[in-house]
Chains A and B, each alone.
Chain A
Amino acid sequence: MAQLVDDYDRESLTCFIQTHRNQPASLIQVLSHIQQTAGYLPKPVLVEVSEKLGLSLTEVYSTASFYAFFTFRPRGRHNIVLCNGTACYVKGTGAVRATLERELGIRAGDTTADRRFSLDVVRCLGCCALAPVVMVDKDVYAGVDPAKVPEILNKYQ
């Protein structure tokens, strides 16, 4: 995957991490803050977390990789969320997913090289009557037919 330019404010993250210096118990709180402000957990920032909090990178990465909430790749400008809850699964999420992955050239959980889209699979979005459901940013698409996927994607640049 192409190297992406950092678009997070490293300096303010450093300041925040600094306030938890030598506090290994604050790890989750620090990781959450980074995830929410940078949109993901950049490698150099995790190294900084490990050094400042006094934990090995192994431990920091172990903890971070355990939780689905944390991600290690930058997010795209538009976030596609595909529901794989029971109803959506029964109504054919699989085909929608395959089309999305083919059209975007990435696997679920990843971001396109041009940072246009990120694709996530979740369960469940809580609107099972609309299955299969796709959300792009805040827009909900109900009863998605794989053939409609390119049309949906075209709306987001």
Chain B
Amino acid sequence: MATVKLTIDNNPVEVEQETTVLEAARSLGISIPTLCHLRELNQVGACRMCIVEVEGARSYPASCTLPVSEGMVVRTATPGVRAARKMILELILSDHPNECLICIRNGHCELQAAADTLGVREVRFQRMSRRLHPKDDSGSAVIREPQKCIYCRRCVSVCAGVQGVEAVGPQLRGFSTVIAPPYNLPLAESVCVNCGQCLLVCPVGAIYERDETASVWAALADPAKHVVVQTAPATRVTLGEAFGMPPGTPVTGKMVAALRRLGFDRVFDTDFTADLTIVEESNELLNRMKNGGVLPQITSCSPGWVKFIEHFYQDLLPHLSTSKSPQQMFGALAKTYYAEEAGVDPADIVVVSVMPCTAKKFEAGRPEMQSSGHRDVDVVLTTRELVRMLKEAGIDLTRLPDEEYDAPLGISTGAGAIFGATGGVMEAALRTAYEVATGKPLPKVDIKEVRGLEGIKQAVIDFEGTPVKVLVAHGLRHARTLMEKLKAGELSEYHFIEVMCCPGGCIGGGGQPIGTDSEDRRRRIEGIYRVDKNMKLRKSHENPAVIRLYADFLGRPLGEKSHRLLHTHYVRRSAHPVLTE
């Protein structure tokens, strides 16, 4: 590719032709402030913070949308530029609530940080207050506070560009502008799938998860309650980030120790029910293959994806595996199998999940998720909410010893662990399906074709003469591509499709640390596969606790009890809820 030479702050630099001035400056280590820029996703010049001086230009252009040109002379921090930036920031602040101290993003807010970096100590403009659009807390997972929005458009770009959902967009104009579902429909009534990718990129506190730490504190403080917790595969490689560890550092043992110190009566692992999901789901697949069932079968453990297909591809719902997600299988078993074993009244059990996901909050509240006779999962915390609880309790993760999960719902294999990465469910399912179908040991445990960050991956695995063709997609935009093909009849030779709602899979979920980027995702995926590699057992059907569960309680995969506790059904939702209000 052709390159261009230019000068930034007296430093000569040579970059590729299409580079923006902002990126060229970054390559020199010059950081230009911005509140809206997301590389390749949201380069719209919305916030104007990144303005620079360009010799010969009449005004200060936004460097995030300005392509470099030969001989360009750029200055990024002249007195004029700094004064203009400060004024832009003051104008944003004049229209932003002054409640940093009690804001969910206090201390982690890009606007707050920019005000600090730019040394804003006063706002010269009369404070405006936008009361036009009230807080929208209709959703079980995601809350919007339009008064705090700075119109950066990141959420809009992610919702459309990464997820292909387009649940929210700008409406009206001027001071009335609001980023919302069409007709300002409450989020809960919209096509929003609760994935939370918007809140990972929101620079301020305008979108955030429903914080449910209070109900967990209350349960822990109630001596009449038996509080058990399950931790999702993907939380163990991200929890450490809030305590200064690099992304992808597995902190499984420390997390278990921390949860015990918070006062949970039992610390269990969603990896256990991930193994169980694999046993049920791969038997379901083999059953469909043998008996002419609907193929390809599609995974159903990602609740954002499930809501997506319910809204946009209702006619493809028969493809969806009926197996519940590991979270919901756990809840159903905790209040039946475990309650029996432990001799605790299920009515006194509180099941808490620690999830990388906001959509899990929605999933736990689905009316059909009560197969134990109670609400199966009572409270879902995101990784961030657990961080908040640990900090509030004064627990420093880094100083804790490694502890083990409790038995039996804490026993798992590497196959359960890789659920957290895109391709992981597929790999885990193939490890089991191969051995169940052929009765022979799998020649190669690592199925690397389905790993990695490419949007759509495929593989063919030879089941002793029967080629099994599989596809993996992550990020709903890629899922949409596959669904369009499936609708058009182009995927009929495939047997199994894994879809994860969020880019990278659960390690990149909406409940993970704010500001997650592709590099974080890559490192967390590495961490997940390291966890898998270090496990003694790496195939779900070899999990001794799962084997015992079938022997003592469930009977057999896809059996009557499994059907009642571990399988579910789906709902046809409108692609245009605005018409049904």
Interface residues of A (CB under 8 A from B): 43-44, 47, 50, 56-62, 65-66
Contacts and interface: CB of A to CB of B under 8 A. Distances in A.
A65 B579 contact: no
A60 B578 CA distance: 13
Contact of A58 (B172, B182, B579): B182
B167 A58 contact: yes
Contact of A65 (B160, B171, B576, B578): B171
A62 B579 CA distance: 17
A127 B247 CA distance: 67
B169 interface: yes
B166 A59 contact: yes
Nearest to A56: B166
B42 to A, nearest CB: 16
Nearest to A66: B173
B576 A58 contact: no
Nearest to B167: A58
A148 B168 CA distance: 45
Contacts of B171: 61-62, 65
A43 B183 contact: yes
B296 interface: no
A130 B12 CA distance: 65
A11 B437 CA distance: 56
B170 A47 contact: no
A21 to B, nearest CB: 17
B527 interface: no
Interface in B138-168: 160, 166-168
B181 A58 contact: yes
B181 A65 contact: no
Nearest to A60: B182
A61 B171 CA distance: 7
Contacts of A59: 166, 169
Given A57-B182, A58-B182, A44 B167 contact: no
Contacts of B166: 56, 58-59
A52 to B, nearest CB: 13
A56 B311 CA distance: 13
Nearest to A68: B173
Interface string B315-349: 00000000000000000000000000000000000
Interface in B510-556: none
A25 B173 CA distance: 21
Contacts of B579: 43-44, 47
Contacts of A47: 576, 578-579
Contacts of B181: 58
B183 A62 contact: no
Interface in B168-220: 168-173, 181-183
Contacts of A57: 182, 576, 578
A82 B168 CA distance: 34
Contacts of B172: 65-66
Contacts of A44: 579
- Among A47, A65, A66, find the residue whose CB has the most chain B CB atoms closer than 10 A: A65
A58 B165 CA distance: 10
Given A43-B183, A66-B173, A58 B578 contact: no
Contacts of B169: 56, 58-59, 61-62
Contacts of A58: 166-169, 181-182
Contacts of B182: 57-58, 60-62
Give the 6 A-B CB pairs with smallest separation, nearest first: A61-B182, A56-B166, A58-B169, A62-B169, A58-B166, A65-B171
Nearest to B190: A58
29 contacts: A43-B183, A43-B579, A47-B578, A47-B579, A50-B576, A56-B160, A56-B166, A56-B169, A57-B182, A57-B576, A58-B166, A58-B167, A58-B168, A58-B169, A58-B181, A59-B166, A59-B169, A60-B182, A61-B171, A61-B182, A61-B183, A62-B170, A62-B171, A62-B182, A65-B171, A65-B172, A66-B170, A66-B172, A66-B173
A25 B219 CA distance: 55
B45 to A, nearest CB: 18
B391 to A, nearest CB: 37
Contacts of B170: 62, 66
Nearest to A61: B182
A50 B160 CA distance: 15
A119 B177 CA distance: 22
A58 B166 CA distance: 6
A62 B166 CA distance: 11
